[in-house]
Amino acid sequence: MPSDPGSPGAGRAPTRITLAEGNGPILVEGPVEVVLADGTTVGSDRPVVALCACRGSDRYPFCDTSHRRRVRT
């Protein structure tokens, strides 16, 4: 079914979001703008952005692989 030319995103590829297994990050094809719960906006122009899913990142909302260092109990 063709997209409506007046609809948002018409004529361009959809944004791809990839969910990693376990506590891994959420990968979003960039550039992105992220609005946090407090209304703060942060952005990145990188081609792929890793968003933290475990909230353990020192660079939240961006993933810094802190989830790899966490010890499971």
Task: For residue range 20-32, list pLDDT tens digits in order.
Answer: 887 778 999 988 9
Cis peptide before 25 (omega within 30 of 0): no
**Taking the model in full, what pTM does it have?**
0.68
Q: What is the mean pLDDT of residues 10-21?
A: 81
Mean pLDDT for all residues in the chain: 81
Q: For residue 10, what pLDDT is reported?
A: 63
Residue 65 pLDDT greater than 50, yes or no:
yes
Q: For residue 13, what pLDDT is reported?
A: 78
CA gap 58, 65 in Å, rounded: 9
Strands 32-35 and 26-29: unpaired
Q: For residue 1, what pLDDT is reported?
A: 44
